[in-house]
Amino acid sequence: MPLPWDFAPLASDRLRLDLLRPDDLDDLTRLQSDPEVCRYLLYEPRTREQVTEVLARDGAATRLADKGDYVQPAIRDLDGRFLGTMYFALHSLDDRTAEIGWILAPDAQGRGYATEAAGLMLDLAFGELGLHRVYAELDPRNRGSVRICERLGMRHEGHLVEHMWLKGEWTDTGHYAILEREWRANA
């Protein structure tokens, strides 16, 4: 696996993934303070002050080298409009495994942007990074994210019932994954 890897922007015909930057604060605050967006996430809606801290932390995450390292680039259209964020974290170097996730602004949902952005990350994962397996964990009530996993060719591997106490209720966790050979076969 060719690590370390320093973040470089990724692009498709319709969008670009690049690092979060200070001028994303307003857009990121709108996203992470929206109760509907946060409904299935691990955190409650955040204040502007909390998002300021998140932006500083996640904007500085630019290198994948060791277990637990992550990048959280912005998803932008080709005009530079902020659409959401991706999440990509190394889970195991020995097993060449990573986790992927996404958050999309409500006005950008339903247009295939998250699927396309995740596809860029999977191309990187199974190409340049030489990973073997990428997985996503999500709340199975989040039908939009489930559909993204399915469109990406990810396999539903498990459903953990009442897996965690979150936001005042027991919640389930769905587990989806795809292997490098499966990604290449679907390409």
Query: Domain with 146 in it: what CATH number?
Result: 3.40.630.30
Average pLDDT (141-150) is 97
Instruction: Write down the mean pLDDT value for the chain.
Output: 96
Percent of the chain exceeding pLDDT 70 equals 99
- Would you mind telling me the total number of residues written for the chain in this entry? 187
Domain total for the chain? Answer: 1
pLDDT band of 148, cuts 50, 70, 90: very high
User: Would the pLDDT of 1 be above 90?
Assistant: no
Nearest CA to 131 among 174, 89, 173?
89
Please calculate the CA angle 133-56-82 and round it to the nearest 5 degrees.
70
> H or E segment at 114?
helix 113-126
pLDDT in tens, 87-123: 999 999 999 999 999 999 999 999 999 999 999 999 9
Which percentage of the chain shows pLDDT scores above 90?
97
pLDDT higher than threshold 80 for residue 187: no
Which residue range(s) make up the domain with 10? 5-186
